[in-house]
Chain A
Amino acid sequence: MKILKSWLNDWIDIETISTDDISEALESLGFEIESRTDKTPNYKNITVGKVLEIYEHPNADKVRVTKVDVGSKIYEIVCGAWNFDVGAVVPVALPKSEIKDGFKIDKRDIRGVESNGMICSASELDLWDDHAGILKLSDETKLGSDFSKIYNSTDTLWEIGVTPNRGDCMSHLGIARELSNYFNLTLKENSQALKSNIESVIKVNSGKIKACNSYQSIEIENFTLSDSNLNIRYRLSSIGVRVINNVVDYTNYVLHDIGQPLHAFDRDKLFGTISVRFAKDNENLKTLDEQERKLTSEDLIITDNDKPIALAGVMGGYDTEVTDTTTNLLIESAYFDKVSIMKTSRRLNLISDASIRFERGIDFNLQKQGLQRFVNLFENDQEINYSSIIDSSKNGISYDSISFDKNEIEQILGVELDDNFIRNTLIKLQIESEVSDKKIKFESPSWRYDLERPIDLIEELAKHYGFNNFESTLPIGNNLNSTGDYWDKRIYLSEKLSSTNFYEIQTLSFTDSLSNELFTPEKKSVSVINPIDQTQENLRTNLLTSLINTYKFNLESNGKSHRYYEINNVYDDSKHKKFKMIPNQEYSLGLLIPENETVEDRKGKTKTNNINTLANVIKNLFPFSELEHLTRPGFHKNYSYLIKLDNKILGFMGKLSYKIQSELELHDSLYIAQINTENFNFDQLKDFTYKPLSAYPFIKFDLSFSVPNDFQASDLINCIESILSDNENNISIFDNFTNEKTRNLGIRIVTRSYEKTYTETESTEILEMIVKEAESKFKIKLNKKDENAT
């Protein structure tokens, strides 16, 4: 919302207060300052003159020659506009003056006639867009006066944010009321009583519905549709309201002045009684913008005896609009329910200054003042006849007084507020109250919808006390030195992965249905009923597609092949394991390792990975996990495994199937995995005990066995472990050589006794025992004795 300093000054004397101080006050009261503009005239030396004579230009048809009196002297000026006659009072740019954007005006020969300057339009003086011609001023304006002095040409404009709970601050009066407390100023009274001199013709009935608490009207006869005065037009255009004519301008002016929306009807197009009701479904109304609107039973409308005449609070009807030929007016000032106005304005996407104010809730006691202000403004400009105000109000809204213990203030805010401060603040804010030793009793004024509970008043006091004037204290929460299982797991996984050359990525949670089908066809997707677009219709059921997309994107656009992981939710349509009504969501880890990986080292260019690389990563993350072969959709027939921990399925891993690899036009194989982090506890990863260190020297054997192709190395390792179970062991595979005929497996055994140093004989016995046991158990054969007993 935009506000002008000069306009605020109508309500409180703030002319002498610096704009910086006012900005600070606005902000500390909760009005966010979006911008501040110091306005000065965008012209120089413009004078007020009166047109004395007009005659034809001897050599040109499109311009006229005028004689203009600027008080001290009369000048001959050539003018191209035709919207004025002799007697018009106008702004004149004499030689040595400047109009908009520094354009200099001087004597000039126009087709043989010397023009001593120019007569200006509103646009030429950068006041507002007006292409009707020159700007006509009030007849009373003193000739020769400095144009910039006859209206508030030097001013400050703020654009501020008003929070949705403060409808009462959507006007200059509302803001002035808040500032009056801040600067300790008195709010002025601006409405003058009316003296009606005609009888009204149209009756008014606010109907039986609650949605219209008050409908009031006043009729004006024999008015002239014309321009409103310069100051009004300047103020409106400054706050971004288009100037149109006196009727529209004054209704807009009252709205921005005190916050009461008004609507003007051509009275002679109305018949009978104005009433308020909800529309029937499919009832029609042509609105001011010439659109035929199909209404519903949720739309509040205004009717006369014959027809709907307006969409209440949103937009007037086309048929009863004020036009050039209108001579008599009926002005509506009403209070409509906010929810009903909001529904209509949102449904029809018609959002106006009026509807915004109704939506936030206007003062339910402001309707009469709205009409008074309108007539007061009109009276200043021209002589008019008007009726008394017709009032159809229900008094359906009232606020109970609320009483609460004063110590609640300290309990919430942590600071005791002084009684005088409380009293003064409430008086300035026009909140009726009694402040006693122990209690505060208050009653919300008619413009405040946000003061329903003690906490609401406490907030009000805190705000006017100034949030920055409160001290700061630091409470300490739980004395637990833990962030909790969920976070601990996340940190554990990302620290391990990021230190082993994985890049963490964050991708959007949406996907198309094909991507979900690819890896997790068993899951039904959760879909968004109002998706952003077709490709973002479903929530992803797996993290694999976005990992592959990221891999592919960076390979193609950066020439780099890297490992990636992501930790985020996957979603599916089954029931949530813990909560009612919502779909299943699993906080998951996705991994991708490419076959050929870029190494960030100037020596080697790439590193080759295989299924063991991925298995190793999984084992490193989950040291006690097991792999179980199971072919999953999207995976290689053999290289596809379930990952299990304590017999619970953690997730799956494997190699991307060749079919999908080819469909995605990927040159390299990819190794991928997904793990549900909710299926293990952080503690499970640390669930092991220390193995004591032997004090004796180790003996070491390197053995090579000839084994079948489907032989599993882990079986051999486990077998040897159990033979040497009394020792401290380190058993590993150091070679795995395969050709078409044979497979050789090299195993390294390092073992120490906890009791003694082995003799050479003992060492040989151990070796023989291992070989014998392995050969008989697995039907494999030792290739060549290659031991190095030490």
Chain B
Amino acid sequence: MPELNFDKVLASLKLRLDEVVDESEFDEILKEYAGKESLLSAERKNLSNLSNEDKKVYGETLNNVNKSIVTNIKKAKEEFINNKYASLEDKENEDITIDWITNTGTHRHILSQVMDEVVNIFASIGYKVAYGPEVETSWHNFDALNTPDWHPARYESDTLYTDNDLETLLRTQTSTVQIRHMEENDPPVYIVAPGRVFRSDQLDATHSPVFHQLEGLAVDKNLKFTDLKGTLEYFVKQFFGEDIETKFIPHFFPFTEPSAEVLVKWKNGEWLEILGCGMVDPNVLNHVGYSDEYQGFAWGVGIERLAMLKYQVDHIKNFYDNDLRFLEQF
């Protein structure tokens, strides 16, 4: 029985594969060792000269050798490609920290971002955004909100007026939008109204003549104090995180009853006021001509306050100085 030295063939293949410098050589090697002109092919042609038994045995041997040649070449090719790209990637080693430190803010003002966030939370439970004028009538800012003309809040030292009869002013609260919206829309009402409000204060670390509030109002049949609690607890958890503790303590606002303040337990254990709320006073609903089968609740939250708490901003003045070093951070 003719016998080719298979070990020698495989050893020479190994040497050949080790010397490869270009990917295209693998196809040539395959041709050389397993193609038509290869030693293996020649042996296969000789099979017909053998006895049936030898044919079977030797044929099987040839098949096995062929298999290992093909496998070896395939493996070597794979390894060659892997090494080639690995060494290519090895050479590329940029200092990733070079641009890592530059500011990556969204370029949106933080007050706008906080307003968006609050709006989105309420939008997710079916509230629409309402909008009202900033220069308002005293009636909408005070009278309609159950704040009669002798009330201290109306004094000129707190409020900026735009006419000598004190009939128009820069709104001191976004609650005015409650009235504007209800005058124009029938119940049910589910709105939030983010916007600017004004006070007679010089801009400094703790005061600003302009700041932002978000007013919320829900009026429908069967809205109750328990709904007010659930709604605001939902907001607080969405904004500050699921684990935040909340409590409601009684308070007084002329246009809600019962009225409450919502406090959250801060990281240091301190309880901080974050919003005022209450069931809409029946007088307010009367002023806008809603029938008494409707009732609801309202709340107001200070946007600067939320931003200061969440991002530990220390001075309210920062929001209005528009220093790039501040703007870039958000």
Contacts and interface: CB of A to CB of B under 8 A. Distances in A.
A413 to B, nearest CB: 4
Contacts of B130: 484, 486
Interface string B216-255: 0010101111110111011000000000000111111000
Contact of A458 (B126, B258, B324): B258
Contacts, number: 237
Contacts of A539: 135, 162, 170
Nearest to A28: B249
Contacts of B325: 558
B142 interface: no
A467 B128 contact: no
Contact of B155 (A27, A346, A491, A506): A346
A223 to B, nearest CB: 38
Interface string B303-330: 0000000000000000111111101100
Contacts of B288: none
A590 to B, nearest CB: 13
A534 interface: no
Contacts of B150: 339, 342-343
Contact of B231 (A475, A494, A550, A581): A475
Interface stretch (B8-16, B50-58, B193-201): B193-201
Contacts of B29: none
B135 A480 contact: no
Nearest to B137: A581
Interface string B13-52: 0000000000000000000000000000000000000000
B152 interface: yes
Contacts of A554: 322-324
A329 B203 CA distance: 51
A764 B226 CA distance: 77
A411 B224 contact: yes
Interface string A21-65: 000000111101000000000000000000000000000000000
A560 B156 contact: no
Nearest to B263: A27
B258 A459 contact: yes
B324 A480 contact: no
B1 interface: no
B225 A470 contact: yes
B247 to A, nearest CB: 5
B82 to A, nearest CB: 34
Nearest to A456: B257
Contact of B226 (A29, A413, A504, A530): A413
Given A477-B127, A533-B202, A27 B134 contact: no
B322 A471 contact: no
B131 interface: yes
B232 to A, nearest CB: 9
Contacts of B92: none
A587 interface: yes
Interface stretch (A162-170, A254-262, A318-326): A162-170
B257 A506 contact: no
Contacts of B299: none
B209 A508 contact: yes
B107 A508 contact: no
A532 interface: yes
Given A472-B233, A474-B234, A571-B135, A467 B155 contact: no
B167 interface: yes
Residues of B contacting A: mostly: mixed
A509 B203 CA distance: 12
Given A475-B230, A533-B202, A568-B196, A30 B257 contact: no
Contacts of B281: 455
Given A571-B135, A582-B135, A472 B229 contact: yes
Interface stretch (A9-17, A88-96, A495-503, A710-718): A495-503
Contact of A414 (B103, B218, B225): B225
B123 interface: yes
A516 interface: no
B99 A165 contact: no
B233 A475 contact: no
Contacts of B155: 346
B230 to A, nearest CB: 4
A455 B128 CA distance: 28
B119 interface: yes
A473 interface: yes
Contacts of B7: none
A172 B279 CA distance: 30
Contact of B322 (A339, A477, A506, A526): A506
Given A414-B225, A506-B111, A486 B230 contact: no
Contact of B109 (A455, A505, A533): A505
A576 B250 contact: no
Interface string A563-585: 01001110100001001011101
Interface string A518-546: 00000000111111110010010000000
Given A475-B125, A478-B190, A483-B119, 19 more contacts: A32-B249, A413-B225, A467-B249, A467-B250, A471-B226, A475-B230, A477-B128, A478-B127, A478-B128, A484-B128, A486-B131, A491-B116, A498-B107, A504-B108, A506-B320, A531-B160, A532-B201, A562-B324, A582-B135
18 contacts: A29-B250, A32-B249, A342-B150, A415-B225, A477-B125, A478-B126, A480-B126, A483-B128, A504-B112, A506-B319, A507-B320, A530-B156, A532-B160, A554-B324, A569-B196, A581-B167, A585-B134, A600-B103
